[in-house]
Structure 1
């Protein structure tokens, strides 16, 4: 005789099996994400892949492509991230988008001699 308790136990077991099977199927594959072509700017003025919010942030931080202060440039700032292999432009830890090595913003933080 099937009881309510027996029915609930079987239903829970079947649900667990289905959930476990779905998890195993979803984890199949070689672990690699599909290759996507990320457009890397060849010109540091190209902001086509940058959101309007990030462009506004660049403006608020006073970013300019050519520093008005000769010794204060993005290239010698702690926040500057140099370009990677096969990249033309650096970047900044404060905002997204390409950054000129000769650029400048109001949050310039000079590298010290020890670095």
Structure 2
């Protein structure tokens, strides 16, 4: 078993192929796990009978209508503008913006 590489030794002393693989393998494994998770998630969501759940971006709560989704977003903005308690995310509402992310609402029934 090889010894762990310390601090900058990976970039300064190790051969390029070893340094590359040391960095690349965890990234590739992470991407593979994400791919499997997203595929399984899509499969089970598609079998809920409510395929409209697949078409939401930027709304923290997917409601039956656009108006209800906008109201839920406004309520979240009023009650937790920094998004640290009710809907924890990496960024809160910015001053002067209506949302913390881009939004799209598409509802369809199959």
Which category of TM-score, normalised to the shorter sequence, fits these structures? under 0.3
Structure with max Cα Rg? 1
TM-score (norm 2): 0.25
TM-score (norm 1): 0.24
